[in-house]
Amino acid sequence: MSRKKEKRPKTEAQIVAQESMIPSIAAKAFRDAYNVALSKGQSVLVVRAGQLMKVSNAETVILRSVETYGTIKAGTRLKVKKTRDGEFVPLKQA
């Protein structure tokens, strides 16, 4: 005999409620990872006001400006190639 109870299937409302919490959980995870990296003396790359910045406890360095890529539909896959100078260049939509 099994002691495990049979799990009832989740209702649509329960699924929607759980899925609605995903953005806040993801935001907290990113914030925590950012804080942990800085507390360990590492640096983090962030984009603020259209500028790519390297942030650490000691300094904030602006690396370059970041432009918007354009309008991309959800689910679009891009192929990206890294050039010799370290820049990433979008090749084409997959």
Query: pLDDT, tens digit, for every residue of 26-60?
Result: 999 999 999 999 999 999 999 998 899 999 999 99
- The confidence score (pLDDT) of residue 15 equals 92
Measured distance CA(70)–CA(94) in Å, rounded: 16
- The confidence score (pLDDT) of residue 3 equals 78
Instruction: Quickly state the pLDDT bin for 81 (edges 50, 70, 90).
Output: confident
Helix or strand (DSSP H, E) at 13: helix 12-20
- The confidence score (pLDDT) of residue 69 equals 67
SS3 29: helix
Percent of the chain with pLDDT strictly greater than 90: 53
Measured distance CA(52)–CA(68) in Å, rounded: 12
